[in-house]
């Protein structure tokens, strides 16, 4: 938002310094996004492992005070994706130090259903289930990314064009 404000102010005032600052900041953001995308695809396997480890560590915060958002997120994911745990439902055994899971893992939700037998819980791993869902929706994510890149490239083009016009006008006026 701040970068956009610099660009608008530079365009309205036809200020070379603000237009150039907008161009350079937008270029920096664009290059950072491109670098992150390249690194993401280059290190997908490592990111995969770290994400699973972090999610398993995060399970231990489930239901603790001050972690309502995390608790709700896990409950929603497990309910909507019909899955349980990161790798499988046994991930929850370490959290509770018992053979139980949160109620959001149950095939049919009821109070304290997570204490019943494993046959009443979702078997699918949440990490793989969400990963498959993201892969199925990769086209939409890709289109969104390309549209964002196009808008940024247009912003870079228009900023540099206006900067050149302002410099040219200053040269003729001087």
Domains in the chain with CATH codes: 1-173 (1.10.1450.10)
Provide the pLDDT for residue 153: 97
Q: What is the rounded average pLDDT of the residues 77-106?
A: 93
Cβ neighbourhood burial of 93 (10 Å; 0-12, 13-18, 19+): middle
> Within the chain, where are the H helices?
2-13, 16-42, 44-59, 68-80, 91-96, 126-136, 138-173
Tokens 């480890």 found at: 53
pLDDT digits 0-9 by tens, 45-73? 999 999 999 999 999 999 899 999 999 99
* Per-residue pLDDT tens over the stretch 7-37: 999 999 999 999 999 999 999 999 999 999 9
Q: Whole-model pTM?
A: 0.72
Instruction: Please give the Cα distance from 39 to 53 (Å, whole number).
Output: 19
* pLDDT value at residue 174: 60
Give tens-digit pLDDT for 130-162: 999 999 999 998 999 999 999 999 999 999 999
Q: Dihedral of CA 35/36/42/46: which sign?
A: positive
């Amino acid at each position: 938002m701040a970068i956009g404000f610099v660009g608008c102010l530079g365009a309205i005032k036809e200020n070379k310094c603000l237009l150039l600052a907008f161009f350079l900041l937008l270029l920096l953001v664009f290059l950072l996004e491109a670098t992150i995308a390249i690194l993401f695809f280059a290190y997908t396997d490592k990111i995969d492992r770290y994400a699973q480890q972090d999610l398993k560590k995060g399970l231990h915060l489930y239901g603790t005070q001050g972690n309502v958002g995390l608790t709700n997120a896990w409950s929603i994911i497990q309910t909507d994706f019909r899955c349980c745990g990161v790798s499988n439902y046994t991930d929850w055994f370490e959290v509770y130090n018992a053979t139980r899971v949160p109620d959001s893992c149950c095939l049919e939700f009821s109070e304290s259903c997570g204490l019943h037998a494993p046959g009443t819980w979702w078997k699918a791993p949440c990490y793989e289930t969400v990963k498959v869902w993201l892969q199925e929706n990769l086209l939409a994510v890709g289109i969104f990314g390309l549209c964002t890149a196009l808008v940024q490239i247009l912003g870079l083009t228009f900023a540099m064009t206006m900067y050149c016009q302002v410099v040219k006008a200053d040269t003729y006026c001087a």
